[in-house]
Amino acid sequence: MPRKSVLLATRPLIPPWDEASKNFAYFLGREVREHDLTLLTTEESLSGLPSSAKQEPVFSSGHFGLRSKFELLRCLMRSKNAFDITHYLFTPAKLNARMIKLLAKPARGKTLQTVATLRDDLYSPEELQSLLFADRLVVYTDRTKEKLERLGFTNVTRIYPGIDLDRYAPKTKDQSLLEQFGFAASHFLVIYPGEYVRLGATDMLTESFIRYFRENPDTDLRFVFACRIKNEADAAKKEEVQKRFEAAGVLSYVAFSDTIPDMPALYNTADVVIFPVGDLYGKFDVPLIIIEAYACGKPVILSDLPEFQEFANDDFCVTISTGSGEKLIESLAYLKDNPENRRILGENARAFVKDRFDLRNTAKQYEEIYSAL
């Protein structure tokens, strides 16, 4: 098959690598070798890329705000005749789909959309037909593929999002993070790498841990809200949660972090990672924080959302009823008292990720799609 020139249409690809979509695009650029990929960046040079990957500094900053979105559109308009394939790696919405089709639709070559989340809670079937306009669609789960096929799409492939298994691997606890949190390596550390406002878990977690710490003042369990502040609503919610722990007299058991540049270190500093969310609105169909925690050999506690069924199993994670703080605390107490069970869950979780989410296998599947387009 001839080599194809491929433009990865993304947000600015620069560190820190703490955002799932740009992480995936960077790793794809690093691993695909059979075709020539162009990555959109700032003036900051990326390391670790092969000779088949080219960097195009089209963004003035790493912040994906209004200016960066205009810079991306301008790049796509200028590149309409330049590439064999334009690969869109951002969530399709009415405005960006309309602007691309009106102003920046490629005049030559093929198009590919990776649809990380299908917002069928927001859009009607007719609207999805308009948003998903590419010659080929890639989705993250069989569940989403089946949904689109029921809507009449015949150009859909499921490829699980790959992660770097060398980077996300079991390691010892990170001392600098422990110092940042104000905890010791001997503490049993539970981490929630979610969000404050979205996902519907913050209030349940706050109430559950306040109750637990009040009833167990001598516990060595500690909890970290490892949630990025994305907007003013998140900042306000974080402040509210801090005040609730302080008013309950248990703030010393809890830490709050914002952006953690070294996500593998965060997972490896945890004894258990929890993601007992109430919904996934706006998140990827496969939240990569779950897969990354699995890869680091960590036991993970999930809620029993239908969206999780494709990557949740009693052999490698713990599933609780959605919204049940009581079941969460029961599961944590069991895992805390059973280190051998934690070890088995962690080993099985990493084996599962090796089988389904290895970035090298993901890259090979994308190479096959590029060749076929």
pLDDT tens per residue across span 233-250: 999 999 999 999 999 999
Task: Convert 159-177 into a string of H (helix), E (strand) and C (coil).
Answer: CCCCECCCCCCCCCCCHHH
Reported as a pLDDT band with limits 50, 70 and 90, residue 124 is confident
Residues written for the chain? 373
- The label of the residue with tokens 């309309």 reads 98
The predicted pLDDT at position 1 comes to: 67
Q: Do the beta carbons of residue 238 and residue 256 sit within 8 Å?
A: yes
Q: What is the mean pLDDT of the chain?
A: 94
Residue 119, pLDDT > 90, answer no
Residue 305 has pLDDT above 70, yes or no: yes
Q: How confident is the model at residue 281 (pLDDT cuts 50, 70, 90)?
A: confident
What does each C-alpha distance from 315 to 34, 62, 137, 347, 348 come to in angstroms?
A: 37, 40, 32, 10, 7
φ and ψ at 77, to 5 degrees? -65, -40
Task: Write down the pLDDT at residue 335.
Answer: 98
Amino acid at 41: T
Phi-psi label, residue 210: left if phi above 0, alpha if psi -120 to 50, beta otherwise? alpha
User: Could you tell me the CA-to-CA distances from 36 to 43, 51, 84, 107, 372 in Å, in that order?
Assistant: 20, 9, 10, 19, 15
Distance CA(142)–CA(261), nearest Å, equals: 31
Tokens of 9: 């249409």
CA–CA gap between residue 238 and residue 243 (Å, rounded): 9
CB of 224 closer than 8 Å to CB of 181: yes
Average pLDDT over residues 105-124: 88
Q: Please give the Cα distance from 229 to 198 (Å, whole number).
A: 11
Contacts for 19 with CB less than 8 Å, ≥ 6 apart: 11
Omega of the bond leading into 276 within 30 degrees of 0 (cis): no
- 313-337 residue pLDDT tens: 999 999 999 999 999 999 999 999 9
Q: Give CA 35 to chain center in angstroms.
A: 25
Confidence category of residue 301, pLDDT binned at 50, 70, 90: very high
Which percentage of the chain shows pLDDT scores above 70?
Answer: 99
Looking at residues 99-123, what average pLDDT do you find? 88
The least confident of 121-135, 161-175, 327-341 is: 121-135
As a whole number of angstroms, the distance between CA 260 and CA 266 comes to 7
**Are 360 and 32 within 8 A, CB to CB?**
no
Q: Identify the pLDDT of residue 75.
A: 94
Mean predicted confidence (pLDDT) in 283-307: 94
Q: Rounded to an integer, what distance in angstroms lies between the CA atom of residue 311 and that of residue 321?
A: 16
Give the separation between CA 161 and CA 24, rounded to whole angstroms: 7
Dist. CA 119–CA 105, nearest whole Å: 23
Q: Quote the CA–CA distance of 185 and 49 in Å, as a whole number.
A: 35
How many H-runs (helices) and E-runs (strands) does the chain carry?
Answer: 13, 13
Give the Cα separation of 150 and 165 in Å (integer). 34
User: Helical H runs in 32-93?
Assistant: 66-78
Contacts for 115 with CB less than 8 Å, ≥ 6 apart? 91, 92, 132, 137, 138, 139, 140, 144
Global model pTM greater than 0.85: yes
Domains of the chain: 4-162+358-372 (3.40.50.2000), 175-356 (3.40.50.2000)
